[in-house]
Chains A and B, each alone.
Chain A
Amino acid sequence: MSPGLRARVEVPGRLVAELEAAPGSVTAVIGPNGAGKSTLLAALAGLVGVRGTVEMGGESWTDPPRPVRRRRVGMVFQDQALFPHLDALDNVAFGLRSRGLPRRAAAARARPWLDRLGVGDLAGRRPAELSGGQAQRVAIARALASDPVLLLLDEPFAGLDVGVASSLRVELARHLSSYAGVTLLVTHDALDALTLADQVLVLDEGRVAQLGEPHEVAARPRTPHVARLVGLNVLRDGDRFRAFRPSAVTVSLQQPAGSARHRWHGTLRGMARHGDAVRLEVATGAGGPGLLADVTPAAAADLALEPGREVWLSVKETAVQGYE
């Protein structure tokens, strides 16, 4: 197997990250705003100054420093960043022409990419005449058309309508499965991480909080952000974590007497429909964890639950999974 991406980068004051990714693999990068996700992509592309090493396909991109244009990265930005003065076809052909292809040949190679992304009939339109979803398809076509070895997708579904985003997600999955290079996908969506990715990189405050397979990260999250994304309660005690499902939580108005070892007193902050259940968001006092609890709609009615109400939460030790 040829080596894929191997990187250890530091952007002073913003990011320290180390990761490896195999050829053909997709790495989802998740984390709260300001965690350094976009900075990581910019660092790998060479758009910001970094310390450390980036190796791609066995070649070093950092020693000696390789300029952005010679790295063969394909970038898709959250706001597409299509060239406003060029039509869709010229946008896609831009990378091919930059690499020396004559106008005609570049256009001939660019057009099938528009077709593949389902926007072949929009070739003559300028970005201002495209919808968000169409523009994002053109942007993906533009990134893929120049045959990159490293594909960097920065929240490609952000800002799109739910329906548009989900159909684009399905198509992107299809393209990524036949793509031989390394893909990094920044996302805010647990679904993206679970369905598109081979591994998940969790960033938090400019550091790697977790790197693992999607099911593993989903089952054993190490940051409150990921716990929220996958809908788990996670308690941290030094290096030890304890996780339990919202459905394992018992909600009562009086202090529970039974054998439950974990109990919290708190104020109900929010409630929303979640599948067949009602998901409660409870704040457990100063410094205490914010917890999720699922109850049946009937129970919610019996307990006369409403935001502001004081409640007790408890969970049985057997329902709690501990990990390091």
Chain B
Amino acid sequence: MPTAVRAPSPGRPPLVLLVPALVAATLLVLPLVALLLDTPWRGLLGQLTEPAVRQALWLSALTSLATVAGCLVLGTPLAWLLARVEFRGRALLRAVVTVPLVLPPVVAGVALLTAFGRAGLVGEPLREAFGVTVPYTTLAVVLAHTFVSMPFYVLAVEGAMRTAGGRYDDVAATLGADRWTTFRRVTLPLALPGVVSGAVLAWARSLGEFGATITFAGNYPGTTQTMPSLIYSTLQGDPELARTLSIVLLAVSVVVIGALRGRWLVGAGR
């Protein structure tokens, strides 16, 4: 960094802006500070090794990674379709894909239940043909997580593909590459920063998902009780444990933010 030469100060920030800004910052920071202060640090390790907690941790890790895998395998092609293929209804599809971003999670859960429930649009034929019921299973957890996380991933990757531009795709075509080769060797490598940050965002969203999960998958220890569900359950009987578990998720969030910041800084320098 060159030596900072300051321009003449534009004046003291007016109170009418300064006061609400400080209130907002306090509002965001205060609960987290309270949580940190109230955490029983000494018994932390012991609590984390309790069977119920270990189960929830394991299930959260499993379902969030499965969600990320689902996003990578299904979301990447969808992002490519939206970024590179012109077809009727593309704008509509993009709009629909983003709906889960703003949809209340509990509504997402009800919608999933309506589709995959015992009498649902897909659920009923699925049960009759294969005897498979989705709701209240680990699969339902992954399904709910994928539903709410996919938009984050698709938007990040589509944006990266658009930024990288179709120009290199044209160059690849003049060099004899078909669309699959072009996707594999040009489009995807150039969109890699978007793939990484999209995957991290989707993973974080999945890890914290509660509303859609509890509605669609329930809260059964061992099969559908993820960390957020366990926190919710323990808050009534054992608020201390709830706070401990919250600290774990808070730590994860901080790590995610750190990882994304690094990613974004690298991205800005390219």
Residue ranges of A at the interface with B (Cβ–Cβ < 8 Å) = 45, 47, 67-75, 77, 81, 83-85, 94-95, 97-99, 142, 146
Decide yes or no: A95 and B176 within 8 Å by CB, A75-B171, A81-B171 being known contacts. Answer: yes
- The yes or no answer to B186 lying at the interface (CB within 8 A) is yes
Q: How many pairs of A and B residues are in contact by the CB < 8 Å rule?
A: 51
Decide yes or no: A77 and B173 within 8 Å by CB, A84-B190, A85-B189, A85-B190 being known contacts. Answer: no
List chain B residues, Cβ under 8 A from A77: 171
Q: Give A69 Cβ to nearest chain B Cβ, in Å.
A: 5
List chain B residues, Cβ under 8 A from A95: 175-177
Contact B175 A142 (CB under 8 A): yes
Q: Contact partner of B178 among A69, A74, A75, A84, CB < 8 A? A: A69
Excluding A68-B170, A98-B177, 17 further A-B contacts by CB distance (< 8 Å) are A47-B170, A67-B173, A69-B174, A69-B175, A69-B177, A70-B176, A72-B176, A73-B174, A74-B174, A77-B171, A81-B168, A85-B189, A85-B190, A94-B172, A95-B176, A98-B175, A142-B175
Decide yes or no: A146 and B176 within 8 Å by CB, A47-B170, A81-B168 being known contacts. Answer: yes
Q: Contact partner of A81 among B167, B176, B178, B185, CB < 8 A? A: B167
Q: Give B158 Cβ to nearest chain A Cβ, in Å.
A: 19
Q: Give B189 Cβ to nearest chain A Cβ, in Å.
A: 5
Q: Give A105 Cβ to nearest chain B Cβ, in Å.
A: 15
- The yes or no answer to B26 lying at the interface (CB within 8 A) is no
List chain B residues, Cβ under 8 A from A84: 190
Contact B176 A99 (CB under 8 A): yes
- The yes or no answer to B163 lying at the interface (CB within 8 A) is no
**Nearest A residue to B181, CB-CB:** A98
**Nearest B residue to A148, CB-CB:** B174
List chain B residues, Cβ under 8 A from A72: 176
**Nearest B residue to A70, CB-CB:** B176
List chain B residues, Cβ under 8 A from A81: 167-168, 171
Q: 27 A-B pairs, CB-CB below 8 angstroms?
A: A47-B170, A47-B173, A68-B170, A68-B173, A69-B173, A69-B176, A70-B176, A72-B176, A73-B174, A74-B174, A77-B171, A81-B171, A83-B168, A83-B171, A83-B172, A83-B186, A85-B190, A94-B175, A94-B185, A95-B176, A98-B172, A98-B177, A98-B178, A98-B181, A99-B176, A142-B175, A146-B176
Residue ranges of B at the interface with A (Cβ–Cβ < 8 Å) = 167-168, 170-178, 181, 185-186, 189-190
List chain A residues, Cβ under 8 A from B167: 81
**Nearest A residue to B170, CB-CB:** A47
How many angstroms from the CA of A85 to the CA of B177 in the assembled complex?
A: 16
Q: Which 4 A-B pairs have the closest CB atoms?
A: A95-B175, A98-B177, A68-B173, A98-B176
How many angstroms from the CA of A81 to the CA of B186 in the assembled complex?
A: 12
List chain A residues, Cβ under 8 A from B170: 47, 68
Q: Give A75 Cβ to nearest chain B Cβ, in Å.
A: 5
List chain B residues, Cβ under 8 A from A69: 173-178
Q: Give A250 Cβ to nearest chain B Cβ, in Å.
A: 52
Q: Please indicate which of the listed interface residues A67, A69, A77, A95 has the most CB atoms of chain B within 10 Å of its own CB.
A: A69
List chain B residues, Cβ under 8 A from A45: 174
List chain A residues, Cβ under 8 A from B171: 75, 77, 81, 83
How many angstroms from the CA of A70 to the CA of B179 in the assembled complex?
A: 12
How many angstroms from the CA of A178 to the CA of B190 in the assembled complex?
A: 36
**Nearest A residue to B174, CB-CB:** A75
How many angstroms from the CA of A72 to the CA of B177 in the assembled complex?
A: 11
**Nearest B residue to A48, CB-CB:** B170
List chain A residues, Cβ under 8 A from B186: 83
**Nearest B residue to A128, CB-CB:** B270
**Nearest B residue to A147, CB-CB:** B176
**Nearest B residue to A82, CB-CB:** B171
How many angstroms from the CA of A25 to the CA of B79 in the assembled complex?
A: 44
Q: Please indicate which of the listed interface residues B172, B174, B190 has the most CB atoms of chain A within 10 Å of its own CB.
A: B174
How many angstroms from the CA of A67 to the CA of B186 in the assembled complex?
A: 18
Q: Give B194 Cβ to nearest chain A Cβ, in Å.
A: 14
List chain A residues, Cβ under 8 A from B181: 98
**Nearest B residue to A94, CB-CB:** B175
List chain B residues, Cβ under 8 A from A71: 174
How many angstroms from the CA of A71 to the CA of B173 in the assembled complex?
A: 9
List chain A residues, Cβ under 8 A from B174: 45, 47, 68-69, 71, 73-75
Q: Give A67 Cβ to nearest chain B Cβ, in Å.
A: 7
**Nearest A residue to B178, CB-CB:** A69
Q: Give A89 Cβ to nearest chain B Cβ, in Å.
A: 14
Q: Give B206 Cβ to nearest chain A Cβ, in Å.
A: 29
Q: Give A220 Cβ to nearest chain B Cβ, in Å.
A: 35
Q: Please indicate which of the listed interface residues B171, B173, B186 has the most CB atoms of chain A within 10 Å of its own CB.
A: B171
Q: Please indicate which of the listed interface residues B176, B178, B186 has the most CB atoms of chain A within 10 Å of its own CB.
A: B176
